Amino acid sequence: MNPTVHPVLAFLQAWWVELVCGVVIVAVVPLIAGYLVLMERKLMADMQARLGPMRVGPHGLLQPIADAVKLLIKEDIIPDHADKMIFWLAPVASMTAALTAMGGIAFGPSFLVARDINVGLLFVVGVSSMGLLGIMLGGWASNSHYSIMGALRSTAQLVSYETAGGLALISGLLLAGTLKIRAIVDAQQHFGVWFVFLAPVALFIYLIASIAETNRAPFDLPEAESELVAGYMTEFSGFRWALYFLGEYTNMIVVGAVATTLFLGGWLRPFPNVRWMNWLDAVPALFTAAVGVYCVYRAGKQPVRVQIWFMWGVALTCFAAALILGLPLLVAPMKFMMPGLNGAFWFLLKISAYIYLFMWVRFTLPRYRFDQLMHLGWYILIPLAIVNVLAVGIAMILESEYGWNRWLAMLLTTVITLATAILLLYLNDKRAAASSTAAPPEEPSAEDSYAG
Amino acid sequence: MQDDAAQNQTLLGADELVLNMGPQHPSTHGVLRVKLKLDGERVRGTECVIGYLHRGVEKIAENRSYQQFAPYVDRMDYVAAVSNGLGYCEAVEKLLNVEAPPRAKVIRTIMTELQRIASHLIWLGTHALDIGALTPLFYCLREREEILKIFEKYCGARLTTHAFRIGGLQYEAYDSFEKDVERFCKDFERRIQEYVDLLTGNSIWIGRTRNVGVLSAEDCIALGASGPVLRASGVKWDLRKAQPYAAYEQYKFEIPVGTNGDTYDRYMVRMEEMRQSRLICLQAIENIPAGPIMGKVGKVLKPPVGEIYHSIEAPKGILGYYIVSDGTTQPYRVRIRPPSFINLQALDKMARGHLVADVVAIIGTLDIVLGEVDR
């Protein structure tokens, strides 16, 4: 064998799975993110009594592709006094971090994206936080006041909420006892219950922190449209802007996957160990079939022929999916495929629910102000997360060393944490009332809103 | 007030940052430009730069006959064109010493109150959007659409309606006018509850609006602020009650007032005003007197030499017209007291010491329309 080729081949032999996964991620995730945007716009339209994108393709289904093409061929503007090198690099850094984090996630027992590394969850969380670097650099390099303010806000916000979110994750990790993605889900199967029921407050904290981490309303201050125009993205246009956007939506999938893996039981169905609940295994097939039937029912009511065809197309796709999901149940030799297929279904369903919640919150709530955001982070969420970690730790000691009932111990944890939450909220209200009466608006208080 | 030394000292000893907000900015409600002096996120001072929408409306008036100028006033506060028209028509009527017939007056009142609701809906939607709530805007526009449909059926125009004429009305109310107004009013009670559900009790909304942009009653009077801005500070001053015009004295309605003069109070006052306007409309359609719709006005208007000031309670505050006549068919001078322009003066007073995010909330709560500020 040619000695110059040999190391390359050896490299390929060792890493081909990861390489293929990388290519798949880069090829597929942007498309998913694009359709996530469409989904968000459709949901928003639904909640706001309008239709949303309807022009490109049936019901606007080709809108993401049209958007991508538009952004690609748009004029590429770099401001005169921008730091060109960093301006180029920043969006790429942001997106790379998000896509890399995708590599550590497992979508089902047999759908590990890249490799089940021993620090799996830490890798995912750590790498996705690196996206902040892109935001910071982009804001700095734009040489614009709006951009730098957006970048500063983003930095302060991420540092604050990363802390709270990280502590919330630790509560879950204490229960799992491992960082390996697959082992975390196995631990939940072993416990016989999703961790959200053992540590509900932890999921709640992580939910809030992850909304803030992904810069979404009501914590979307870094890109608050009505205040900072577009925050750190103000000077970016065309495909650079698209990369930021891509990074943001990929991050949503990543935080959704992390929450699902750690708290919502990953790819486990509800009641994973209860035998008489085994009929739940048929739910994925029945659910997709039901969606298909509904499409057939709606197809007759569509006004335009294209829409009728489209509905039939969706229906047939659903039936095909139902068949794939259902066959392993009926045909004994294919039984081995069931955990993988059903697992992927449950996992995606849970991520979708999590992202739906994100979007719902965004359409409903007004935006926090910067100081309120910081107070929520530092005065409420972080202390609460610390108390939660301690309480979960104590509960686990009580269980293992003193033989307490696990449920009793965990219930105690939750009660303690909730009591703390009420106390913190009460203290916060008192502080807010005191500061609003003490400091008239003419005199700026000596408090630095970026401090911390 | 702080002394100069403290004024120039920033928290970290750094230079002040001057942030140029506008004239192209998503939430300056048109082409307002505000130069913000910032210490970090905290506002040290603001400076409004206006005039980007100046069209010389007052000067145009001097070269138009009285009737010809009427459509121009619609273009000042274009989200409340009917109210502008009412003020102008009544001012010229006062100058001519004629009065519109009762039927015209009642229809004018209904239209103006519908316009008040429409104007407040635009305010609510954009104000909520400024504070980050995306959804109320679309609900508000949905209801406003119903009002615009009534306008369209009445006079063919939706935005700049030119609905009234000097001396009365040009068009008779269309057949189902009462029914349309009644249906809107009945429906609106339920709709307004939706905004209340979304915003009034929301702790983020309260946090963003309470104690933000506080304006005391004395400040309001000193600055000449009027309308909901004044009433939210606790001053019960509404020209519809104080100097009744059109048909307002016939109807029962409350004047909502606030206590703190903060953004939340202004929100509550305007919400209540919408409810009261709805009640006025319901009272008015019950009994629209029969009779002519045009008073005794000639084809050519030649008011006697003299001057007149007439003001009405427009949705945004007191809208006044000062008209000087030299006895010809064209006014010698028209001076307009635009509520937005005068309320905008309060911006610096209200924004100082707050954060950047509050500035957009304050601009929103002042409910300015740049067409009226710049004229």
Q: How many CA atoms lie within 13 A of A119 on its CB side?
A: 7
Phi, psi of A244 (to 5 degrees): -60, -45
Ranges in chain A, pLDDT < 70: 1-5, 110-116, 224-226, 277, 332-337, 434-452
Most B-contacting residue of A367, A371, A436, A449 (CB-CB within 10 A), to test interface: A367
Calpha distance B315→A57 (Å, rounded): 43
Calpha distance B199→B132 (Å, rounded): 11
Measured between beta carbons, the chain B residues lying within 8 angstroms of A49 are: 138-139, 142
The pLDDT value given to residue B2 = 45
Q: Min CA distance, A120 vs chain B (Å)?
A: 36
Kindly identify which residue of chain B lies nearest to residue A369, measuring between CA atoms.
Answer: B357
Are the Cβ atoms of A370 and B41 closer than 8 angstroms? Answer: yes
The pLDDT value given to residue A444 = 43
Q: Give the number of other CB atoms < 10 A from CB of residue A405.
A: 10
Q: For A239-250, b where at least 16 C-beta lie within 10 A, e where not — what string? A: ebbbbbbbbbbb
What would the two tokens of residue A306 be?
């294209």
What is this model's ipTM? 0.79
- Report domain B57-374's class: mainly alpha
Most B-contacting residue of A148, A365, A425 (CB-CB within 10 A), to test interface: A365
Kindly identify which residue of chain A lies nearest to residue B1, measuring between CA atoms.
Answer: A442
Most A-contacting residue of B10, B135, B203, B208 (CB-CB within 10 A), to test interface: B135
Interhelix angle A181-191/A145-176, nearest 10 degrees: 50
Measured between beta carbons, the chain A residues lying within 8 angstroms of B358 are: 369
Ranges in chain B, pLDDT < 50: 1-5
Q: Is the dihedral of CA A415, A420, A421, A427 positive or negative?
A: positive
Q: Across A11-102, where does the E strand assignment appear? A: none
Q: What strands lie across the sheet with B317-325, from one edge to the other?
A: B306-314, B317-325, B331-337
Most A-contacting residue of B11, B145, B260 (CB-CB within 10 A), to test interface: B11
Calpha distance A92→A99 (Å, rounded): 10
Q: For B347-369, b where at least 16 C-beta lie within 10 A, e where not — what string? A: bbbbbbbbbbbbbbbbbbbbbbb
Asked whether the beta carbons of B89 and B165 are under 8 A apart, the reply is: yes
Calpha distance A97→A125 (Å, rounded): 10
The pLDDT value given to residue B323 = 92
Q: For A165-202, b where at least 16 C-beta lie within 10 A, e where not — what string? A: bbbbbbbbbbbbeebbbbbbbbbbbebebbbbebbbbb
The pLDDT value given to residue A450 = 46
CA distances from B60 to A333, A397, B26, B65, B79 (A): 88, 84, 30, 10, 21
Q: Could you say which of A49, A370, A441 has the minimum Cβ distance to residue B138?
A: A49
The pLDDT tens digits for B306-323 are 899 999 999 998 999 999
Calpha distance A378→A136 (Å, rounded): 21
Identity of the amino acid at B99: E
DSSP A82: S
Interface of B with A in 179-238 (CB under 8 A): 198-199, 202, 204-205, 207-208, 210-214
The pLDDT value given to residue B148 = 92
Are the Cβ atoms of A444 and B42 closer than 8 angstroms? Answer: yes
CA distances from A280 to A190, A291, A344, B6 (A): 19, 17, 14, 69
Are the Cβ atoms of A229 and B26 closer than 8 angstroms? Answer: yes
Residue B330 Cα to chain centre, angstroms: 27
Q: Could you say which of A217, A369, A450 has the minimum Cβ distance to residue B40?
A: A450
Domain ranges of chain B: 4-49, 57-374
**Cβ–Cβ contact B9 with A under 8 A:** no
- The continuous run of DSSP H or E covering A436 comes out as helix A406-438
Interface of B with A in 288-347 (CB under 8 A): none
For residue B169, give the 3-state DSSP assignment.
Answer: strand
The pLDDT value given to residue A446 = 44
- The continuous run of DSSP H or E covering A137 comes out as helix A131-141
Asked whether the beta carbons of B100 and B297 are under 8 A apart, the reply is: no
Most A-contacting residue of B3, B131, B209 (CB-CB within 10 A), to test interface: B131
Calpha distance A80→A77 (Å, rounded): 9
Are the Cβ atoms of B132 and A220 closer than 8 angstroms? Answer: yes
The pLDDT value given to residue B119 = 92
The pLDDT value given to residue A451 = 42
The pLDDT tens digits for B48-80 are 888 888 888 889 989 888 888 988 998 888 888
Interface of B with A in 19-58 (CB under 8 A): 19-20, 25-27, 39-42, 44
Both ends of chain B: CA-CA distance in Å?
33
pTM given for the model: 0.83
Interface of A with B in 418-447 (CB under 8 A): 432, 436, 440-444, 446
Calpha distance A446→B3 (Å, rounded): 16
Kindly identify which residue of chain A lies nearest to residue B45, measuring between CA atoms.
Answer: A442
Calpha distance B361→B33 (Å, rounded): 15
Find out whether the peptide bond into A218 is cis, omega within 30 degrees of 0. yes
* Three-state secondary structure readout of B207-259: HHHCCCCCCCHHHHHHHCCCCHHHHHCCCCCCHHHHCCCCCHHHCCCCCCCCC
Calpha distance B17→B7 (Å, rounded): 14
Are the Cβ atoms of B11 and A145 closer than 8 angstroms? Answer: no
**Cβ–Cβ contact A35 with B under 8 A:** no
DSSP string, B288-303: ---S-SB-S--SS--P
Give the pairing type, strands B317-325 and B168-169. Answer: unpaired
Q: Could you say which of A366, A440, A449 has the minimum Cβ distance to residue B40?
A: A449
Calpha distance B286→B182 (Å, rounded): 9
What would the two tokens of residue B276 be?
């009261």
- By CB atoms closer than 10 A (0-12, 13-18, 19+), residue B164 is buried
The pLDDT value given to residue A441 = 43
Asked whether the beta carbons of A253 and A355 are under 8 A apart, the reply is: yes
**Cβ–Cβ contact A48 with B under 8 A:** yes
Are the Cβ atoms of A48 and B207 closer than 8 angstroms? Answer: no
The pLDDT value given to residue B321 = 92
Interface of B with A in 119-178 (CB under 8 A): 128-135, 137-139, 142
Alpha-helix residue ranges (DSSP H) falling in B30-101: 57-61, 66-74, 81-96
Q: Could you say which of B17, B130, B355 has the minimum Cβ distance to residue A371?
A: B355
